[in-house]
Amino acid sequence: MLKGLVCAVISACCYGTLPILGKLGYALGMETFEMLSYRFGLGAVILAIWIGLTDPRSLRIAPRSLLKAVALGTCIYPLQSTCFMSAIKYIPASTTTLILYFYPICVTVLSVLLFKMRVGRQVVLSLVMVTAGCALVFYDAFSQGVNSLGLAFAVGAMLIFSVYLIASQLILKNEPPLTVGLYVIISAAVVFTLLAGPPDLKAMTWPKAALALSFGLFPTVLAVGLLYTAINAVGSAYTSIFSTMEPVTTVILAYFVLGEPLALWQVAGAACIVAGITLPNLGLIRRKAAVTPAV
């Protein structure tokens, strides 16, 4: 149990490093597609080696599953990643991440429309809290005169991520998640490598090399690998709760590493978002505990 929870927290923290690494990359003169090609390219290689050493059977994928992974990895995922990385070029990393966490609202609306999902009182309360948190974040962003293009990219990343989650639910049902995830990353790596072109080794410095490796290691390999380890150990409900450490990690790192200001409104918004995401998962866990017989 403890191992699964620790893996979930570390995974979320690793995901939370992505906007920080992006800001550092832009400061070193790296381009958007260049950073994404390093993230997915190196990430695909390291993740394939890790899976090959720990669970070689997961490297095998059926042709039908491969087509689904390629569809996600070449269409939706690259578009979302590009919008997200473009957003942090113009606006604070913390603001970008908090805007992304508005996605539960969009996913819920789409689920009601597409899957006829029933929305209970607990879900409504959760959505109200997330909405309030995002409203505070948007208020803080506009009060500081944040770049409108950056906000547009951040909102675009959030909307596309919502569509990605719905698409994943539609086409990845009963598919091996870790295997499909690997080939989604490989597909995205191919797309961004073609867009970025071959790496300019002459311009590669030690700081850039370390940052490129960090892109592949922290928000990709460790984040994905530990996420699935946590899900296998404690289930998706507990994992979802501790995954809310991602925006918290980004806000804290943005303050200490990047020197971004941390406004009171932003802290309040982050708290509302985390609480809103956590609430329905706590209810799910209580319901599962109520119907699980004692051993």
Q: What is the pLDDT of residues 187-198, one digit of tens each?
A: 999 999 999 998
Decide if 280 is inside a domain: no
Q: Given CA atoms 109, 266, 275, 242 in this order, what sign does their dihedral have?
A: positive
How many folded domains does the chain comprise?
A: 1
More confident position, 1 or 273:
273
Q: How far apart are CA 182 and CA 175, in angstroms?
A: 12
Per-residue burial over 152-170, b if 16 or more Cβ lie within 10 Å, else e, is ebbbbbbbbbbbbbbbbee
Decide if 134 is inside a domain: no
Which pLDDT band, with edges at 50, 70 and 90, does 294 fall under?
very low
Q: How far apart are CA 243 and CA 222, in angstroms?
A: 14
Decide if 202 is inside a domain: yes
Decide if 276 is inside a domain: no
Q: Position of tokens 């990047």?
A: 258
**Under 8 Å CB-to-CB from 271, ≥6 apart: which residues?**
133
Angstrom distances, CA of residue 78 to CA of 136, 270, 287? 29, 26, 37
Q: DSSP readout, 72-140?
A: IIIIIHHHHHHHHHHHHHHS-HHHHHHHHTTHHHHHHHHHHHHH-----HHHHHHHHHHHHHHHHHHHH
Decide if 273 is inside a domain: no
* Average pLDDT taken over every residue of the chain: 84
- Percent of the chain at pLDDT exceeding 90: 40
Decide if 289 is inside a domain: no
Decide if 103 is inside a domain: yes
For residue 107, the tally of other CB atoms under 10 A from its CB is 18
Q: How far apart are CA 174 and CA 181, in angstroms?
A: 13
Decide if 125 is inside a domain: no
Q: Is the pLDDT of residue 171 over 80?
A: no
Domain range holding 221? 2-119+147-262
